[in-house]
Structure 1
Amino acid sequence: MHERRPEPTRRELLLAAGRDAFGRMPYDEVSLSEVAQEAGVAHGLPFHYFKNKRGFFIEVVRSLADEMRIAYDDLNGLPHGEALRAAINRHIDYFEQRPHVLLGPIRSNLVTDSRVRDVFEETRWDGALAVLRLIGIDEPTEGIRLLMRSWLAFHDELLVQWILERPVPRPALVEVLVAGLTSILGSVTLLEAGTGPDLSALHEQTA
């Protein structure tokens, strides 16, 4: 018998409704009262759990990162090239369905808020580490960490422009992101002595 999953708590219901709301609307248009109504809980509960809209948004961002980590879980053990392309495709799927998560709050003046910025950086880096693990890099060196942060900036800007304009086919976008990661991580030997990671498998596509 399958173990029955517990019912979501009211806090979890609010976070789920918040992910949906911030995924559909810019930050300024999200109402905590409407989020509570959508979650089927009392209107005062968002303030009880999160104090204010800013605190709620921060926890929603953290829960988004948790969703992305879960999305990567079943990719572990796949060939590195296949796992990386699947992860990138899932990432694109996620933001295609929730464009304002990428185009709204993340690129708004909220990023000047130090606490919000710290949460964004924390969640982005968690995602970067998950990608590195998928391609066999469990303990990145300082050089790889530096280069991976550069790839994240490249990834985010490229994805934003693609979602806004769709100038190239999606498979081409995925291959550019793979090629970019391969190239930038391959340059780690310019920063550190020794042999860089073996990234040859990333060039291999499944049929």
Structure 2
Amino acid sequence: MLGIHVRTRRAMPPETRKNDNRESRRQIVDAATELFTKTPFSDVNVEDIARSAGVAHGLVFHYFKSKARLYEVVSQGAADRLDRLHREALQRSGTPEVKLTAFLESHMMAVEQRRADYVFHSRGGGSPAIQTIWERSRRNAIHLILELYGVEAPSEPLVVATRAWLGFFDELVLEWVQGRPVPREGVIAASLSLFPAVMRQARVLGAEDAPTPRDPS
């Protein structure tokens, strides 16, 4: 009697499948990050992302459900990187003014690398989740700056005043990154000059804990 041999497919080990899933997901996020930083959100489609990532179109929806959800993941990664750059800049040696200058420079460098994305979310683009991500990053920046001047638990009036100063800086950066006639050095110099004045006015708002930064010479 002849034996019949049935050829069966070996099941892929669970750990291998998990690694493959992680790698595919990472490729999608990396591809989306590169596209969103250079191209407005509305001009990027899922087909472009899948093609750039080298994966099947359906995998994008499998892992992220929608382009908007994928953009949230990309935005969180960008916010985390920006927070890290801010911390590293403020940990450099030197006076508080030198460190604040490094903070502004690192911020502008990061913005320049992801200009399309920066303009999009700064003008209110994206879901409420996107705005929440960047609001959290903004509050992190505010607290880092105030800690630089020895204020670890700032009052709300002081947070509001610092937010106003950061908003001034952000508006100048928006103009600069869009190619308007606002020089990088001018953005930094104007923001540094305004900071001590804003801290003085913070006391008018009731911020008794406002620091007294040195006016730039």
The corresponding residue for 1:85 is: 101
What is the deviation of 1:28?
0.9
For 2:137 and 2:60, locate their aligned partners in 1 and report how far apart those are by CA, in whole Å: 22
User: Contact conserved, 2:158 with 2:202, CA < 8 A, in 1?
Assistant: yes
What is the deviation of 1:99?
1.6
For 1:195 and 1:165, locate their aligned partners in 2 and report how far apart those are by CA, in whole Å: 38
Q: Does 1:171 align with 2:185?
A: yes
Match of residue 18, structure 1, among 32, 35, 40: 32
What is the deviation of 1:53?
0.9
What is the deviation of 1:70?
2.0
Decide which structure has the larger Cα Rg and report it. 2
Which amino acid in the other structure matches residue 155 of structure 1? F
For 2:73 and 2:92, locate their aligned partners in 1 and report how far apart those are by CA, in whole Å: 30
User: Contact conserved, 1:80 with 1:136, CA < 8 A, in 2?
Assistant: no
User: Contact conserved, 1:69 with 1:130, CA < 8 A, in 2?
Assistant: no
Residue 104 of structure 1 aligns to a residue whose secondary structure is helix
User: TM (normalized to structure 2)?
Assistant: 0.76
What is the deviation of 1:40?
3.7
Report the identity percentage.
Answer: 27
User: Contact conserved, 1:83 with 1:135, CA < 8 A, in 2?
Assistant: no
Residue 149 of structure 1 aligns to a residue whose secondary structure is helix
Match of residue 143, structure 1, among 157, 177, 182: 157
For 1:105 and 1:9, locate their aligned partners in 2 and report how far apart those are by CA, in whole Å: 28
For 2:168 and 2:32, locate their aligned partners in 1 and report how far apart those are by CA, in whole Å: 28
Which amino acid in the other structure matches residue 97 of structure 2? G
Q: Does 1:120 align with 2:128?
A: no
For 1:42 and 1:138, locate their aligned partners in 2 and report how far apart those are by CA, in whole Å: 48
Structure 1 stretch displaced more, 27-36 or 141-150: 27-36
User: Contact conserved, 2:86 with 2:141, CA < 8 A, in 1?
Assistant: no
Residue by residue over 1:22-58, the C-alpha shift from the partner in whole angstroms, topping out at 9 and shown as x without a partner, is 1100111112232233234443333223211111111
Which amino acid in the other structure matches residue 94 of structure 1? A
User: Contact conserved, 1:26 with 1:100, CA < 8 A, in 2?
Assistant: yes
The corresponding residue for 1:3 is: none
The corresponding residue for 1:181 is: 195
Residue by residue over 1:69-92, the C-alpha shift from the partner in whole angstroms, topping out at 9 and shown as x without a partner, is 222333315331111111111111
Q: Does 1:203 align with 2:216?
A: yes
The corresponding residue for 1:64 is: 78
Residue 155 of structure 1 aligns to a residue whose secondary structure is helix
Q: Which runs of 4+ in 1 moved over 4 A?
A: none
RMSD of aligned C-alpha atoms?
2.5
For 2:161 and 2:104, locate their aligned partners in 1 and report how far apart those are by CA, in whole Å: 18
In the alignment of these two chains, the number of paired residues is 194
User: TM (normalized to structure 1)?
Assistant: 0.79
Any unmatched runs of 5+ in structure 2?
1-21
Question: Which residues in structure 2 correspond to 1:37-116 (within 5 Å)?
Answer: 37-75=51-89, 76-78=91-93, 79-107=95-123, 109-110=125-126, 113-116=127-130
Residue 211 of structure 2 aligns to a residue whose secondary structure is coil
Any unmatched runs of 5+ in structure 1?
1-7
The higher-RCO structure (CA 8 Å, 6+ apart) is 1
Which amino acid in the other structure matches residue 35 of structure 1? I
